[in-house]
Chains A and B, each alone.
Chain A
């Protein structure tokens, strides 16, 4: 029997109206492609909202981390509405408060400083991925005993 490997679903807001949304998407891609490629998948938020059954089922069975650009929290609201409570949430505008000298301007191509900030957000997401997997493993171990 082959057991499916636990994965964590990252749900990023589209966030095209504001620079924080662009940071959400780029930070999510950094996690998927560089930081935790084996442990994560992305869930396309518009598809999820439009009724994508695969996306919704995945988010019911596996832990999810929502990444929102602003306090509107569309990714979190959508995930809660159609699949369940996310394991963790990251809000870019909250992370930005830790960098008072940085002002985000780009919705399209990031400056070097903005990209560095996206990397910082990605690190926060990756930490939550590790925490979600640690929690899953602990749960599996306790179920075995």
Chain B
């Protein structure tokens, strides 16, 4: 499949918050298991540090952002990089919706893992919709 039929997924790194770790875990699930052919994982700091080879990808493909906290860094930084956001996930809302919380930032535990899986399913559906549009 060409790059054209792909969707970029971007998660906040979330080093200091458990829901940030859920954000990362959910995007890994999408790009490695659920939609490996249709999705591309892009790391945000290289875009801002000006060292990314992914800058063109960000500008040309639809993007789904996954934010772990109210700072919404993934969304803010993609907007700053000139990307087109076509889908957004706010992990605290998903946690409320599914009534699941991770144990800690380094150990998600069964509930955190389940939450990441649920979010990954949601992202995968968004990926399917967006790739049908292109």
Contacts and interface: CB of A to CB of B under 8 A. Distances in A.
A50 B69 CA distance: 13
A19 B132 CA distance: 31
The interface centre, meaning the residue of B12, B45, B105 with most chain A CB atoms within 10 A of its CB, is: B45
A21 B24 CA distance: 12
A89 B28 CA distance: 27
Interface string B21-38: 000110111001000000
Contacts of B45: 13-14, 45-46, 49, 74-75, 78
Q: How extensive is the interface on chain B, given as a class?
A: 20 to 34
B66 to A, nearest CB: 11
A96 interface: no
Interface in A7-39: 12-17, 21, 25-26, 28-29, 33
A75 B25 CA distance: 21
Given A29-B105, A33-B106, A74-B46, A50 B15 contact: no
Nearest to B77: A50
Interface string A45-74: 111011110000000000000000000111
Given A16-B27, A77-B51, A78-B48, A46 B32 contact: no
B73 A78 contact: no
15 contacts: A14-B12, A33-B106, A44-B12, A45-B13, A45-B45, A46-B14, A46-B44, A47-B73, A49-B45, A49-B49, A49-B73, A51-B76, A77-B49, A108-B28, A108-B29
Interface of B: 11-17, 20, 24-25, 27-29, 32, 41-46, 48-52, 54, 71, 73-74, 76-77, 80, 105-106
